[in-house]
Amino acid sequence: MSSFQEKKNNFYSSFFSRNTFLSAGAKSLNRDILWAQGFDENSNFSGKVVLELGAGAGRMTLALAELGLIQKASKYIIVEPSEGINHIQKMLAPFGLPNVEFVKSSLENLSHYIAPESIDYFILVGVLPHIELPCDEIAKKVALFVVPDGTLHLMYFFHGFNKNLTKIIHPFVANLPYLFRILFAYTHTILQFTIFKLRLGRVSYINNFFLLKRESFKRTVDQFLEIFSVHPYNVYIGYSEILNCFSAYFSLDKLFNYSLALTLRKTSGKSLTESRCDTLPDMSTKNLVICYKNSQDWFFNAVIGELGRYGYKFSIANFDEIVNNTDESFCLVAGWNYFEIPYHSEFIKYPSKHIYLWQMLIR
């Protein structure tokens, strides 16, 4: 185990023992968000062996149990390398789930506990940025455990902006003693609050640092503390890179409307490079429409500037005015500030529409 891996496990073991934004039952994970991530009551867990990697303190696990999905699986394997696994065991006890197994391991050591091609449905939610392996190596290791034609459900939050300064300072800050890291988290929270209160340098800020808007000052500090305590914290991998990394083992199944959320199928039947508006964010042959909500504000203009760097041709429209347009050549792309108006809260009103996020276009 690397020194960063050991520090990461120790940090999360302590972090999960407190009430934070990652705690099971946190308000940030509700049924609308689960739907946007591709999980609902109809998700196909029935009779399957399901594995959830990097379960943390059980936030996703609890949500899936409350949906009744874990109960449908023939076996549900919870994998977590930190002491958070003990919290999950206690939390699930009232559900009385005889089909649940617990494995204290990371992906790197998982082959000691799980047989090859034994998992029908592999869940990789929120953990991809923390695995100390190159993306293509992660894909290779995950594919080892998935049965032919099995499913990989992958999700994490992709900000889209480069976060240039954060990439530089992050490894240094993550190596500092805890007291310095928590001081850094408080300072960063105050800096963010001040910049956005004064409305100065906001575009520069989001290009260099994470924009976090939790329900309280303490929760925002907690998330900055997590970001700058854990290495790697690689939330810079976009759709194109993910698809390239996993293309040797999986084909694309579905995209969902939550930043980076998709299911992949372990099969050689379909190429990941197929270009269809309803499956892939390669929209070069489509009429791209970048949508705003209430106004073309500073965030929307920052998105337009970012997409312009990639040479896309697009038009601009108010989402509410164009969402019911029946022209199938249109690909609607949400470009408004998702912290002000969460994407999923709008998309769930139009379940038959496939609406993209601007982050999907980042190459």
Query: In this structure, is residue 183 part of a structural domain?
Result: yes
Query: In this structure, is residue 207 part of a structural domain?
Result: yes
One domain for residues 16 and 147:
yes
CA atoms within 13 A on the CB side of 57: 18
One domain for residues 215 and 150:
no
* Contact between 121 and 154 (Cβ < 8 Å): no
pLDDT bracket for residue 278 (50, 70, 90): very low
Q: Which two tokens mark 117?
A: 């091609």
CATH number at residue 55: 3.40.50.150
The distance from CA 347 to its chain's CA centroid, rounded to whole angstroms, is: 17
- Mean pLDDT, to the nearest integer, of 46-67? 93
Nearest to 291 by CA among 233, 356, 247: 356
Counting the structural domains of the chain, the total is 3
One domain for residues 25 and 124:
yes
pLDDT bracket for residue 336 (50, 70, 90): very high
Q: Which carries the bigger pLDDT value, residue 14 or residue 166?
A: 166
One domain for residues 144 and 176:
no
One domain for residues 200 and 334:
no
**pLDDT of residue 280 exceeding 80:** no
One domain for residues 154 and 60:
yes
Query: In this structure, is residue 51 part of a structural domain?
Result: yes
| Domain that includes residue 171, residue range | 164-227
Q: Which two tokens mark 274?
A: 């197929």
One domain for residues 153 and 177:
no
One domain for residues 150 and 179:
no
One domain for residues 107 and 255:
yes
pLDDT bracket for residue 263 (50, 70, 90): very high
Q: What are phi and psi of 330, to 5 degrees?
A: -80, 135
- Mean pLDDT, to the nearest integer, of 135-148? 94
Quote the pLDDT of residue 11.
65
d(CA 32, CA 308): 31
Query: In this structure, is residue 18 part of a structural domain?
Result: yes
Query: In this structure, is residue 148 part of a structural domain?
Result: yes
One domain for residues 195 and 316:
no
* Contact between 132 and 232 (Cβ < 8 Å): yes
One domain for residues 321 and 186:
no
Mean pLDDT across the chain? 85
Query: In this structure, is residue 138 part of a structural domain?
Result: yes
Nearest to 60 by CA among 47, 75, 74, 79: 79
Query: In this structure, is residue 272 part of a structural domain?
Result: no
One domain for residues 170 and 113:
no
**pLDDT of residue 149 exceeding 90:** yes
Query: In this structure, is residue 281 part of a structural domain?
Result: no
Quote the pLDDT of residue 20.
61
Quote the pLDDT of residue 234.
82
Please write down the HEC assignment for all residues of the chain. Answer: CCHHHHHHHHHHHHHCCCCCCCCCCCCCCCHHHHHHHCCCCCCCCCCCEEEEECCCCCHHHHHHHHCCCHHHCCEEEEECCCCHHHHHHHHHHHHCCCCEEEECCCHHHHHHCCCCCCEEEEEEECCHHHCCCCHHHHHHHHHHHEEEEEEEEEEECCCCCCCHHHHHHHHHHHCCCHHHHHHHHHHHHHHHHHHHHHCCCHHHHHHHCCCCCCCCHHHHHHHHHHHCCCCCCCCCCCHHHHHHHHCCCCEEEEEECCCEEEEEECCCCCCCCCCCCCCCCCCCCCEEEEEECCCCCHHHHHHHHHHHCCCCCEEEEEHHHHCCCCCCCEEEEECCCCCCCCHHHHHCCCCCCCCEEHHHHCC
**pLDDT of residue 259 exceeding 80:** no
- Mean pLDDT, to the nearest integer, of 176-186? 93
Q: Indicate the residue among 175, 204, 227 that finishes a domain.
A: 227
